[in-house]
């Protein structure tokens, strides 16, 4: 039986959705199933939802933390983007989707995604009404046309209303993510070429 492909080095970029609270456990699952090494970039909003120290403990790397109005810069040692073979944007907010779809690079995560040559997988999380509201679906379609890998917006508990609490099965949808991440790794450079053409 063929083993699914693994990333040698994976860059996890987190933006400010509630699912950030699961990042330390999510990183450990990525290390078990997906990647040999994981480094993390937290947007300024994400760093308010999860402790960078907890993320660093899980990843065994210093965490790169963006600051408000950082113009693409993040605190932490410089990142060698060419050393990563996968970039995972999890959780991906409607805000980061809109920025990348329109070529904006005014924070660390959007700047990294726009500069990355490796496959980029977006895992969107947000209020369902937000994902259905124009122009968000247009931005998602544009990312797909540009060669980025998009999972459908993920369902989960809506924190403000508690909708979905009865169906909530766990902290993150890893069984759903693994086949998509494996497919992105298998496609490899073809995805990068499609995005840059």
Q: What is the pLDDT of residues 179-191, one digit of tens each?
A: 777 777 777 644 4
> Tens of pLDDT along 61-115?
999 998 766 555 666 667 899 999 999 999 999 999 999 999 999 999 999 999 9
Domain for residue 4, yes or no? no
Residue 82 belongs to a domain: yes
In a domain, 152, yes or no: yes
Q: In this structure, are residues 181 and 33 in contact, taking their beta carbons and an 8 Å threshold? A: no
Q: Which two tokens stand for residue 77?
A: 């040692």
Residue 1 falls within a domain, yes or no? no
The pLDDT value given to residue 187: 75
Total structural domains within the chain: 1
Question: Domain range for residue 115?
Answer: 10-196
Query: Quick one: tokens of 53?
Result: 């120290």
- Report pLDDT digits (tens) over 5-18: 888 999 999 999 88
103's torsion region: left (phi>0), alpha (psi -120 to 50) or beta? Answer: left
Judge whether 120 lies within some domain. yes
25: domain CATH number is: 3.40.50.1950
Examine residue 5 and state whether it is found in any structural domain, yes or no. Answer: no
- Omega of the bond prior to 135 within 30 degrees of 0, cis? yes
Q: Is residue 133 part of a domain?
A: yes
Residue 3, in any domain of the structure: no
Q: Compute the distance between CA of residue 86 and CA of residue 139 in angstroms, rounded to an integer.
A: 21
């Amino acid at each position: 039986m063929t083993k699914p492909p693994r990333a040698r080095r994976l860059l996890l970029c987190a933006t400010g959705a509630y699912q950030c609270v699961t990042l330390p456990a999510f990183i450990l699952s990525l290390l078990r199933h997906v990647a040999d090494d994981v480094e993390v970039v937290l947007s300024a909003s994400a760093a308010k939802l999860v402790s960078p120290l907890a993320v660093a403990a899980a990843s065994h790397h210093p965490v790169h933390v963006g600051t408000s109005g950082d113009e693409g810069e993040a605190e932490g040692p410089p990142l060698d983007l060419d050393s990563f073979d996968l970039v995972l944007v999890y959780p991906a907010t409607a805000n980061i989707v809109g920025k990348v779809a329109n070529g904006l690079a005014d924070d660390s995560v959007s700047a990294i995604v726009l500069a990355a040559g490796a496959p980029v997988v977006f895992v969107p999380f947000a209020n369902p009404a937000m994902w259905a509201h124009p122009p968000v679906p247009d931005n998602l379609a544009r990312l797909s046309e540009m060669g980025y890998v998009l999972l459908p917006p993920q369902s989960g508990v809506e924190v403000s209303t508690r909708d979905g609490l009865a169906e909530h099965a766990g902290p993150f949808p890893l069984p759903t993510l693994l086949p998509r991440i494996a497919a992105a790794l298998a496609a490899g450079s073809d995805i990068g070429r499609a995005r840059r053409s």
